[in-house]
Structures are given as structure tokens and as C-alpha cells.
Amino acid sequence: MKIVDYRVTPIAFGDPPLRAAFGLHAPYALRTIVEVVSDDGLTGVSETHGGSAVVADLLAVRDLVVGRDPFQLAALEHTLYGSVPQTGNVATPWEGKLHSFPRTFGAIEVACLDLIGKALGRPVCDLLGGRVRDRVPFSAYLFYKHAGAGGEWGFECDPAAHGWAAARQAEALSAEALVEQAQAMVTAFGFKSLKLKGGVLPPEEEVRTVRLLRAAFGPDVPLRIDPNAAWSLETSVRWANELEGLLEYYEDPVAGKENMAALAQRISIPLATNMCCVSFADLPATIRLGSVQIILGDHHFWGGLRASVELARICRTWGLGLSMHSNSHLGISLSAMTHLAAAIPNLTYACDTHYPWQSEEIIVGGKLEFVDGALPVPTGPGLGVELDRTALQHLHEQHLRSGLDYRDDEREMQKIEPGWRYRVPQW
Amino acid sequence: MKIVDYRVTPIAFGDPPLRAAFGLHAPYALRTIVEVVSDDGLTGVSETHGGSAVVADLLAVRDLVVGRDPFQLAALEHTLYGSVPQTGNVATPWEGKLHSFPRTFGAIEVACLDLIGKALGRPVCDLLGGRVRDRVPFSAYLFYKHAGAGGEWGFECDPAAHGWAAARQAEALSAEALVEQAQAMVTAFGFKSLKLKGGVLPPEEEVRTVRLLRAAFGPDVPLRIDPNAAWSLETSVRWANELEGLLEYYEDPVAGKENMAALAQRISIPLATNMCCVSFADLPATIRLGSVQIILGDHHFWGGLRASVELARICRTWGLGLSMHSNSHLGISLSAMTHLAAAIPNLTYACDTHYPWQSEEIIVGGKLEFVDGALPVPTGPGLGVELDRTALQHLHEQHLRSGLDYRDDEREMQKIEPGWRYRVPQW
């Protein structure tokens, strides 16, 4: 089997005005679709981060991908290494120290695994050692947000919306509003654990939100808060004392491996990260320092699905927990995340996903459906999803119209609060 | 695809009277052949350690294997964990702290991967990420030995033998004799690096052997010595000073992670191990202490081929070298080792193999052939080798006749030196 064509399509889809420590989500989230086409007419797809730098990296290696046997992934990785121009290796705040190379290779690897799975008639999880679970639980990802639905609606709201569609566009800038958002999301999707994106309001209001969530959902629903490194070490310690017994894990309250390690010495809540340990190169120091107890993996930046299985082995070996990080994404990413989570025995926490926040889709059949807060592992060949070419064209044109060429939450935030700056720590 | 039959066959094959720190090889080496048969009539095979305890572990999990889809390896591992009776978890000196579970699962995993490869028409390396090399270099594994060819010949020699067959049966209990052995082996197989099994003669004679090998083969042929922990820390330091500049790596001169780490602080030759770090559980302490620079992996005891790929990622991540350990084995193991080595980018040292010491085979077509010291990676489906059922039956009967039920080099040694004991350290 040989790859005879390789396509990279930037897309944009509506994204509500969600807040995080980095600022505000723009009305459109950017993403990139990668396709590899085999000489027997099959197409493998994947989805990765968006923006012109990501696309430039992917396009730069086109000649190294076309002509290859998709099974030869280690050799492809070896060939790409050093050939990715690292255009996308920019340290925007939201992406921290993500590296061009594993992102570029990972996107191609997932498309190749989809292609292999389709050719063999086996789901992708079977190429990763098979499934250890038939359904993958996800958590409710709760955001402080401004009113608005994103996309063409921008900061507007559809007065006819109801249920989750109404909650999705509602303002939520207080503890009480967050609880309403959580209730609507849990009612709609059945999630069994809650993650609060923090680092937005003063810590006391965010901790009050956690307390209200606990009161509303009871002691059996695990809670997490992720201030995205917006808190100082002292602030993180102080609020940890308030959060003791309430949190399943405490995600990146403070910036950097050293601060996280210092925090770990002073509190008993397990620490999780997708910021201070985002690559294999980060692992030796993270483990040596004892910075975290849980790694939030993400195949989009760890170098693909096989690399993520290898990360899982490292977590097993060093006794670290493993969960899964997400960015705004569509169903191709969700399917890949689900196959990966299905294949990893020690991925024992519900995974993060932004998926409920998006109303658009790019796969045939529309949005994938959660059942009781979990996604059934697709059983079809490859990722088990098919690209909807009409939707791809539409979302590509939307990308062109959006005028966005990279994610910049600070710039978006400044549109509503002139002079706003992303600061670490903010509190 | 479903596994409908599972067969475990103990075998024995002739093995010359090779010496190591543990004593003497018996006239027969024990090994076990595992077969998994699918409902579409295909058979996957693997080869692992021998002896009744190993067989007992493999037989005990029969009901957990039959009825399974061979793709579901992570689930099988999860199911087997805790179900292997650990009969083979005996700490005989030669096997150190090898654990029943990864050995048992690993043997079944390799057979399943062979089965999957045969069903899909792809070589096993393509199930591990594809090949990064088309040929896998092996090293000449040199042993001090008594005269004799092993097997029915025992301590006898065939006077008509010539070439490697003559050298294979010749006594080699001095530096000069070892050089002759090396020359015969290199002439016959073309190996480009040399490994001396040490811990047998007094260290000064073994170091003299290394010097003579260097003089005979020149500076471009990498040399290694493996005293199998028979040397004290002081002895290891003292002889390291003599070996400086002569060795590619210094393998397990002293016993245990702590001693190896102390040695690493005092010498500059890279240290390798297949004794103080033989499982994932050993890695955190090995890395924390800085016990070694090179891990000698072995899929037979690290839990199979996928686990070995994961070990390779750990070695890449922590900047450790990776090479491959061997025990006496036949062509099924050699093929699996070759597929694994083909798939691992950072397996940059020539692998160990005892294969030239064996004259019997169990695969159709007889012994695999080295070309210029390397084995071409098989291109056929699965492992690329087929079990020869007549040979299997013969070697199984030989096992029954051998009267051996586990490897005991000390007992064999006592037959020629009454009262001989395996001691750590010996020197």
C-alpha cells in the first residue's frame, strides 16, 4: 500500500466566547484536516490544531509523505524529524511549549492509522493493542463565558434556543451561573465528572464555584479545576487548603515544573498537568522533581496515538495517573481520542473534551453522541468516521472568511476589555 | 478472528558446554514453543524460555487465551495479570529476578502478533510501527567453553567437523583459544562486533582476552565483556581502568543497581545491563540511581514485542542506549528479535544472539542465515517463519529424553568440578 495523495485543509467552526486565563475564545476555532489517500483508493483522515503555522508545517513535508507505505510509521517519523520547518513552534500562551514536530508527525500518523484500519477492516484501537473498554467516559468541561454562541452568531444569542443550546449561549460569569451551565450540560450529555476551567475570576469566586458544584451534584461526582497557571504558588497553596477533599485533581494551578513540585510538597490534592509536561523531553525533569501525580496526555501534541500508548507505559512504570487534555475540536479528533482511551488500561480518569461547545461537524452523520457521559468506541474500520466533503468545503470557506490565522485569546479579550493582558501569575 | 486452540510444547536442543559465571550449559537447552490457532485455520507461533515452571505458567492460562480475538492484547494482558500462577517466578541465578507474568504474556503476545500478521499478510514489524532498517546486525557471542558440541555429542567432538562446526566444539579456556573461536565465528557469520561472556576465568585472563581480541580484530570492531555480576565493585573499577578505550560497553560487571551506579560514578566506560534492570518495575530506581547507560532489552522477559517498543521509548526519553540480550534460542525467537530490532529506531547496537551455537532448528528451511553479520528482516507475513512439525516432535521427544526440567548451570558445573558454587562476587 502506498500513499498517493496528501491533503491539508484548514477549517474554522463556531466557538462560543469561552474564557480562560489566556483570554477569550474567538467566534471561530481553527483546526486542520489531514487526508492521506492510498493507491487502492482509500482515504485516511485526522484532525489537528489550526492556524497558518500548523498548516505550513504540514505542507512542508508533503513530498516526504507521498509515495510512502503508511505502515512504515517509525521510518516516517525518523524522516520527518528535522524536516518539519517548525513554523508552528511558536510559544503562544495557550499552547505553551508545544513543538511543531510531534504535532506534525502525530497528525500524519493518525491519518495513516485510519488508512491502515480501513484497509484491514479493523478499528484503530485494534492497531494499538485492542480495546480494554467499549465506552470512554468524558467529563463536563465547564467554562466561565460571555453571552453568545460563537460562529456567525458571535456574541448574539438565539432567543428560540432551549436546553443545552440555550445554556451553551448563556452568559456564565458567576458561581451560580456556572452551576446552571453544569446542570444543563450534565442533563444533555450525562457526564459523571465535572471540570471547571479556572484562572478567569478571582480565586475566591472560582473556589466558591467548586463548592456550589459539590453542593449541587453531591460527593460522587468528581470535580477538577484548571486555573491554567494563573495562580501564584502561595495562592495555589492557600486555595488548596480550601479545596482539600473536594477535588479529584488540581490541574496546573501554578506555572512550571519547579513550582508544581514545590506545591506538591505542601498539599495533598493530586496535581495534574497539560502545561508543565507536554512532551517526552519534559518527562525526566517532571518525574525527577515530582511535579505532578497525573499527566494529561493529548495525542495531538505528544506525537500521535502510538506515542500516547508509550506515554501510558511511562505513567504505569512511574506510578503516575493519566488522563486526557482537549482543545476545541470536531468529531475526527474525538474519535481518535476515543480509540486511544479505549486501548489504554491505565487511562482511568474521564477525558476532557470541548466537544459539547461546538454545534458544527465535519463527519458524515453529524455529531457523535455521548451516552451517559461516555462515547461508545467506534467499531467500524479505522477511526470509524467518514469525512463529510460538503461540510469540509463549508468549514474551509468559513476559515477563509474568518480572517483568523492563529489562535490569540488575548487579542479577543482586548476587544471587550481594552488593555487586558495575559499574566502569569494573574493572582 | 478468534483463537480456537492453544498449544504449549516443551523442547530441548543440543547446546555446547558453554561457561558463564552461573556455571556450565547442560548438553541440552530447554525452550518452549507456543502456538495459537485461529478459527480461520491460521497458526501463530512463538518461542520462549524452557523448563517445567515456564510451561506450567503457560498452561495455567489456557482457558483465558482460547476464545479470544488475538488483536485484543491489552485486554488479554489485563486478564492474565494476576492469573499467571508464577510457578516460573523462581530466582535461579541465571534468570535473576525475571517474572512469570511478563514472560507468560510476552510469549502469547508474540504468537498473537504472528497470527495477526499472517491474517493481514503483513510482517510483524509492520504491526510495531514498521521497519527502520532492512537488516539487523548481531554480535559474535564468544564463550569460554569445554570441548564438546552438546546434544547427543555431549562432551564428545566430531573429528570430521571443520570450519565453524569444528570451532563450535573446540575447547576454549584461554585468551588465545577465545581469539581462535572469534575468528572462526566471524569468518562463518561476518559479525562486526564481539561480545565476550566473562565471569569465568580470573579477570586478568579475561581482560587479556579482550586485549588479544582488539589486537586481532583492530580498533573498528566494537568489543564488550559481560562478567554477569561475578566481579566485586573494586574488581570492576580496577579492570575498567585496563579496559578504558577498548570497550563499547561494560555489561553487568557487578551485581545490583546500587553497585552499578557506584561503578558508573568511578569509570567512564558506558555500563549496560540485563541483570539489574529486567522489568519496567526496575526502571525508576535504575534511572534515579544512574545505574547504567544502556539497557539490554529482551522481549522474552520484558512482556513481548509491544512492551519492548515501549521500553525503547523510555530509553529515548531518558537518553539511555538500547541493545538486545539473548539466551540459547532457535529461529522463532531470532525472527521475533529481528522484527523488533527492525522497528526500533534507537536500537543502535548490534544485538546479542546465541544462535550460532545451536545446530538444530525448528523452522521450515532450517537455520536462518546471517549475511555480513546481520539478518535480513523477514518479509513474509507474521514472523516470516513456519514451524517444522517433524522437528517440533523430534525436539519435544528430545526434551522428554533429556531428563532436564529446568536450567541449572551450577549443577552441570558440579559434574566436572564437584563442590563448585555460583558466587556473587566470584572475584
Q: What is the DSSP string of B207-266?
A: HHHHHHHHHHH-TTS-EEEE-TT-S-HHHHHHHHHHHTTT-SEEE--SSSHHHHHHHHHH
Question: What CA–CA distance (Å, rounded) separates B175 from B196?
Answer: 11
Q: Which residue type, as a one-letter code, is found at position B164?
A: W
Question: What CA–CA distance (Å, rounded) separates A61 from A83?
Answer: 7
Question: What CA–CA distance (Å, rounded) separates A94 from A20?
Answer: 9
ipTM of the complex: 0.95
| Alpha-helical regions (H) of B16-149 | 52-60, 62-65, 73-80, 100-120
CB B313 to CB A77 under 8 A? no
Q: How far is CA A14 from CA A106, A153, B407, in A?
A: 25, 8, 67
Q: Does B310 touch chain A (CB under 8 A)?
A: yes
Burial degree of B407 (CB within 10 A; 0-12, 13-18, 19+): buried
3-state DSSP assignment of residue B16: coil
The predicted model gives B64-76 an average pLDDT of 97
Nearest CA distance, A209 vs chain B (angstrom)? 39
Smallest CA–CA distance from A73 into chain B, residue = B129
In a domain, B8, yes or no: yes
Q: Which residue type, as a one-letter code, is found at position B422?
A: Y
What confidence tens digit (pLDDT) does each residue in B153-192 have? Answer: 888 899 999 999 999 999 999 999 999 999 999 999 999 9
Chain A residues with CB inside 8 Å of B280's CB?
A: 313, 316-317
Chain B residues with CB inside 8 Å of A122's CB?
A: 71
Question: What CA–CA distance (Å, rounded) separates A46 from A8?
Answer: 10
Among B122, B124, B279, B317, most A C-beta atoms within 10 A, so best to mutate, is B317
Q: Which long-range contacts (CB under 8 A, 24 or more apart) does B168-172 make?
A: B168/B16, B168/B356, B168/B357, B168/B359, B169/B16, B170/B145, B171/B145, B171/B146, B171/B147, B172/B142, B172/B143, B172/B144, B172/B145
| B293 plus B363 within the same structural domain | yes
Minimal Cβ distance to B72: which of A69, A75, A130? A130
In a domain, A206, yes or no: yes
Number of domains composing chain A: 2
CB B75 to CB A131 under 8 A? yes
Question: What CA–CA distance (Å, rounded) separates A239 from A244?
Answer: 9
Compute the 3-state secondary structure of chain B and give helix, strand, coil in percent, each to the nearest 5. 40, 20, 40
pLDDT the model gives residue B92: 52
| A78 plus A182 within the same structural domain | no
Q: Is B16 left (phi over 0), alpha (psi -120 to 50) or beta?
A: beta
For residue A276, give the C-alpha cell.
508543565
Nearest CA distance, A79 vs chain B (angstrom)? 10
Nearest CA distance, B75 vs chain A (angstrom)? 5
Assess whether pLDDT exceeds 90 at residue B93: no
Nearest to A298 by CA among A267, A328, A270: A328
SS3 annotation, chain A: CCEEEEEEEEEEEECCCEEECCEECCCEEEEEEEEEEECCCCEEEEEEECCHHHHHHHHHCHHHHCCCCCCCHHHHHHHHCCCCCCCCCCCCHHHCCCCHHHHHHHHHHHHHHHHHHHHHCCEHHHHHCCCCCCEEEECEEEECECCCCCHHHCCCCCCCCCCHHHHHHCCECCHHHHHHHHHHHHHHHCCCCEEEECCCCCHHHHHHHHHHHHHHHCCCCCEEEECCCCCCHHHHHHHHHHHCCCCCEEECCCCCHHHHHHHHHHCCCCEEECCCCCCHHHHHHHHHHCCCCEEEECHHHHCCHHHHHHHHHHHHHHCCEEEECCCCCCHHHHHHHHHHHHHCCCCCCCECCCHHHCCCCCECCCCCCCECCEEECCCCCECCCCECHHHHHHHHHHHHHHCCCCCCHHHHHHHHCCCCCCCCCCC
Q: Does A124 touch chain B (CB under 8 A)?
A: no
| B116 plus B46 within the same structural domain | yes
Which helix (H) or strand (E) segment holds residue B169: the answer is helix B164-169
3-state DSSP assignment of residue B114: helix
Nearest CA distance, A83 vs chain B (angstrom)? 17
| B139 plus B214 within the same structural domain | yes
Smallest CA–CA distance from A112 into chain B, residue = B129
| Backbone angles phi and psi of B201, in degrees to 5 | -100, 165
Burial A202-215 (b: 16+ CB within 10 A, else e): ebeebbbbbebbbe
User: How many CB atoms neighbour CB A371 within 10 A?
Assistant: 10
Nearest CA distance, A319 vs chain B (angstrom)? 10
pLDDT the model gives residue B61: 96
For residue B46, give the C-alpha cell.
512463538
What confidence tens digit (pLDDT) does each residue in B79-88 have? Answer: 998 788 766 6
For residue A202, give the C-alpha cell.
478571582
CA-CA-CA-CA torsion for B292, B297, B300, B301, nearest 10 degrees? Answer: 30
CB A313 to CB B318 under 8 A? no
Strands lying side by side in the sheet with B28-38: B3-14, B28-38, B43-49
Minimal Cβ distance to A71: which of B126, B283, B288? B126
| B300 plus B221 within the same structural domain | yes
CATH value at residue B356: 3.20.20.120
| Backbone angles phi and psi of B185, in degrees to 5 | -70, -40
| A163 plus A76 within the same structural domain | no
| B104 plus B142 within the same structural domain | no
Catalytic-labelled residue, pool B25, B49, B195, B197: B197
CB A283 to CB B120 under 8 A? no
In a domain, B269, yes or no: yes
| A257 plus A339 within the same structural domain | yes
pLDDT the model gives residue A96: 46
Burial degree of B401 (CB within 10 A; 0-12, 13-18, 19+): exposed
Smallest CA–CA distance from A134 into chain B, residue = B75
Question: What CA–CA distance (Å, rounded) separates B29 from A283?
Answer: 41
For residue B107, give the C-alpha cell.
510469549
The predicted model gives B43-64 an average pLDDT of 95
Cell match 569465568: residue? Answer: B200
Question: What CA–CA distance (Å, rounded) separates B415 from B17?
Answer: 12
Contact B47, B75 (CB under 8 A): no
**DSSP structural state of residue B72:** -
Q: Does B121 touch chain A (CB under 8 A)?
A: no
CB B313 to CB A343 under 8 A? no
Nearest CA distance, B234 vs chain A (angstrom)? 29
In a domain, A425, yes or no: no
Q: Does B129 touch chain A (CB under 8 A)?
A: yes
CB A129 to CB B345 under 8 A? no
In a domain, A188, yes or no: yes
Question: What CA–CA distance (Å, rounded) separates A147 from A154?
Answer: 9
Cell match 570497550: residue? Answer: B247
State the Rg of chain A over Cα. Answer: 20
Which helix (H) or strand (E) segment holds residue B136: the answer is strand B135-137
Q: Is the dihedral of CA B92, B324, B302, B105 positive or negative?
A: negative
Question: What CA–CA distance (Å, rounded) separates A247 from A269?
Answer: 7
In a domain, B415, yes or no: no
CB B281 to CB A75 under 8 A? no
Minimal Cβ distance to B130: which of A72, A309, A318? A72
Q: Does A281 touch chain B (CB under 8 A)?
A: yes
CB A310 to CB B313 under 8 A? yes
pLDDT the model gives residue B89: 57
Question: What CA–CA distance (Å, rounded) separates B316 from B347?
Answer: 10
Assess whether pLDDT exceeds 60 at residue B95: no
Q: Which residue type, as a one-letter code, is found at position A2?
A: K
pLDDT the model gives residue A89: 57
Q: How far is CA A91 from CA A284, A362, A381, B400, in A?
A: 21, 28, 36, 66
Contact B190, B164 (CB under 8 A): no
Question: What CA–CA distance (Å, rounded) separates B249 from B231?
Answer: 16
Q: Does A344 touch chain B (CB under 8 A)?
A: yes
The mean of the pLDDT values for chain B is 95
Q: Does B72 touch chain A (CB under 8 A)?
A: yes
For residue A127, give the C-alpha cell.
492497531
In a domain, A239, yes or no: yes
Q: Does B81 touch chain A (CB under 8 A)?
A: no
Q: Does A379 touch chain B (CB under 8 A)?
A: no
What lies within 8 Å, CB to CB, of A20 at 6+ separation is A94, A143, A197, A199, A200, A228, A409
Question: What CA–CA distance (Å, rounded) separates B59 from B220?
Answer: 47
| A61 plus A199 within the same structural domain | no
Q: How many CA atoms lie within 13 A of B296 on its CB side?
A: 23
Nearest CA distance, B105 vs chain A (angstrom)? 13
CB A75 to CB B318 under 8 A? no
Q: Does B66 touch chain A (CB under 8 A)?
A: no
Chain A residues with CB inside 8 Å of B126's CB?
A: 71-72
Which residue segment(s) compose the domain that A96 sits in? 3-124+389-401
- CA B147, chain centre distance (Å): 23
3-state DSSP assignment of residue B205: helix
| B184 plus B48 within the same structural domain | no
Question: What CA–CA distance (Å, rounded) separates B427 from B233?
Answer: 10
User: How many CB atoms neighbour CB A419 within 10 A?
Assistant: 6
Chain A residues with CB inside 8 Å of B130's CB?
A: 69, 71-76
Q: Which residue type, as a one-letter code, is found at position A188?
A: A
Chain A residues with CB inside 8 Å of B132's CB?
A: 74-75, 78
Q: What is the pLDDT along chain A (427 residues), one digit of tens a residue?
A: 999 999 999 999 999 999 999 999 999 999 999 999 999 999 999 999 999 999 999 999 999 999 999 999 999 999 998 788 766 655 455 454 568 899 999 999 999 999 999 999 999 999 999 999 999 999 999 999 999 999 988 888 999 999 999 999 999 999 999 999 999 999 999 999 999 999 999 999 999 999 999 999 999 999 999 999 999 999 999 999 999 999 999 999 999 999 999 999 999 999 999 999 999 999 999 999 999 999 999 999 999 999 999 999 999 999 999 999 999 999 999 999 999 999 999 998 999 999 999 999 999 999 999 999 999 999 999 999 999 999 999 999 999 999 999 999 999 999 999 999 999 899 9
Nearest to B255 by CA among B280, B275, B285: B275
State the Rg of chain B over Cα. Answer: 20
Q: Is B382 left (phi over 0), alpha (psi -120 to 50) or beta?
A: left
CATH value at residue B95: 3.30.390.10
Active site residues of A: 197, 325
Chain B residues with CB inside 8 Å of A78's CB?
A: 132, 345
Residue B321 β-bridge partners: B294
Catalytic-labelled residue, pool B99, B325, B339, B354: B325
| A325 plus A227 within the same structural domain | yes
In a domain, B342, yes or no: yes
Among A118, A122, A288, most B C-beta atoms within 10 A, so best to mutate, is A122
| A58 plus A117 within the same structural domain | yes
